[in-house]
Amino acid sequence: MTSSRVIREDILRMIHSAGSGHPGGSLSLVEILLHLYWNEMNIDPDNPGWEDRDRLVLSKGHGAPALYSVLARRGYFSTDKLDSLRKYGSGLEGHPHMQSLPGLDCSTGSLGQGLGIAAGLALGLSIRKSPARVFCILGDGELQEGSIWESAMSIPNLMQTNITAIVDRNHIQLDDSVDKIMPIEPLAYKWRAFGWTVAECDGHDPADIERAFSTVTGKPLVILAKTIKGKGVSFMEHKALWHGRAPDGDQLQEALEEQE
| Cβ neighbours of 7 (radius 10 Å) | 27
- List 201's β-bridge partners, or say none: 225
Residue 170 phi, psi (nearest 5)? -95, 0
pTM: 0.97
Of 180, 160, 162, whose CA–CA distance to 171 is shortest? 180
What pLDDT is attached to residue 83? 96
Could you tell me how far CA 181 lies from the centroid of its own chain?
A: 22
Q: Can you count the helices (H) and strands (E) in the chain?
A: 10, 5
- Percent of the chain that is helix, strand, coil (3-state, to 5): 45, 10, 45
3 state DSSP class of 213: helix
What pLDDT is attached to residue 216? 84
| Cβ neighbours of 46 (radius 10 Å) | 9
| Cβ neighbours of 222 (radius 10 Å) | 29
- The architecture of the domain spanning 4-257 is 3-Layer(aba) Sandwich (3.40)
What pLDDT is attached to residue 258? 96
Q: Are strands 221-226 and 134-139 parallel, antiparallel or unpaired?
A: unpaired
Which DSSP state fits 46?
A: T
pLDDT tens per residue, the chain (260 residues)?
Answer: 899 999 999 999 999 999 999 999 999 999 999 999 999 999 999 999 999 999 999 999 999 999 999 999 999 999 999 999 999 999 999 999 999 999 999 999 999 999 999 999 999 999 999 999 999 999 999 999 999 999 999 999 999 999 999 999 999 999 999 999 999 999 999 999 999 999 999 999 999 999 999 998 899 999 999 999 999 999 999 999 999 999 999 999 999 999 97
What pLDDT is attached to residue 214? 97
Sheet containing strand 55-58, edge to edge, reads 55-58, 134-139, 163-169, 221-226, 197-202
